Amino acid sequence: METLYNIGIVTPTYNEKDNILDMLNLLNASLSNSGLKCVILVMDDSSPDGTSQIVSDYISNFKSDNITLELKVRAGKQGLATAYTQGFAYLIEKYEPEFVMSIDADLSHNPKYIPKMYQKAIIEQADLVVGSRYVKGGGVKNWGIDRKVLSKGGSLYAKTILGVGINDFTSGFNLYNTKIFKKLDLDKVNARGYFFLIEMKYKIYKLGFKVVEFPIVFVDRVNGASKMSKSIFMEAVTGVIKLRFAKK
Ligand SMILES: Nc1nc2c(ncn2[C@@H]2O[C@H](COP(=O)(O)OP(=O)(O)O)[C@@H](O)[C@H]2O)c(=O)[nH]1
Ligand SMILES: [Mg+2]
């Protein structure tokens, strides 16, 4: 009998040519002796810098007993949220993994944490493990004061308005038990950008699932540029209010 896939990992890319090889090597190093069976899906939005070509070349030469690697290329930049929702839906349909995970491809989220986050989910019977910068042991490296304020302030803002005790609402490094998506429809997630990360955590908590945080040290990207923009930021600011006062 085929062993069950433990984790389906989605890593979205837009112009990550100088990060993606290191990222795939780190994922491989962290997972190959973990005892976990994993599938990794790179969701690229036709990056003009040729990220997808680098990934497909890597896949052609890739061999592993426990890791499956896939690439999906969408036509043009469509945002982080649907990269995740479509990626999750695809992996759930095809591989039926126990968990799905979101992880940035720009080396900010260290894959070394993945087996530990998985262990935490199992031991504590948690449905969502948030890789958290804002709990004891977590932190941020290389960010300027502006991004620090934006991120920590954003998480605090969401926590306060929504009245839910999650300290890192805007974290993009998350492990979800796929049973969540029997109750939470991935097609009905409205957000375009980072607000998605807040919306998912809130809805999952409100559905009664167990949410825990695992401390991570987030290291800001060295190569390439952030895709954070003013409109994406504003979506999150107004989105939190809408979420809080939305009718059931
Ligand atoms: N496929 C896809 N990936 C994206 C998009 N926007 C950002 N990403 C990826 O999502 C991850 C996080 O984005 P980033 O710009 O680093 O955000 P920041 O860390 O908050 O500054 C990176 O791996 C990006 O390449 C998008 O529109 N489509
Ligand atoms: Mg980043």
Residue-wise pLDDT for 4-57, tens only, equals 999 999 999 999 999 999 999 999 999 999 999 999 999 999 999 999 999 999
Q: How many angstroms is it from 33 CA to the middle of ligand 2?
A: 27
Ligand nearest to the CA of 170: 1
Closest CA to 216 of 133, 148, 149, 123: 133
The pTM (predicted TM-score) of the whole model is 0.94
Mutate to test the pocket of ligand 1, among 55, 80, 142, 170 (most ligand atoms within 8 A of CB): 80
223 CB within 6 A, ligand 1:
no
The number of residues in the chain equals 248
C-alpha–C-alpha distance, residues 135 and 245, integer Å? 27
b vs e for 29-51, b when ≥16 Cβ sit within 10 Å of the residue's Cβ? ebbeebebbbbbbbbbbebeeeb
Segment among 42-46, 103-107, 241-245 with least mean pLDDT:
241-245
Q: Is the CB of 170 under 6 A from ligand 1?
A: no
State how beta strands 174-177 and 128-132 pair: antiparallel
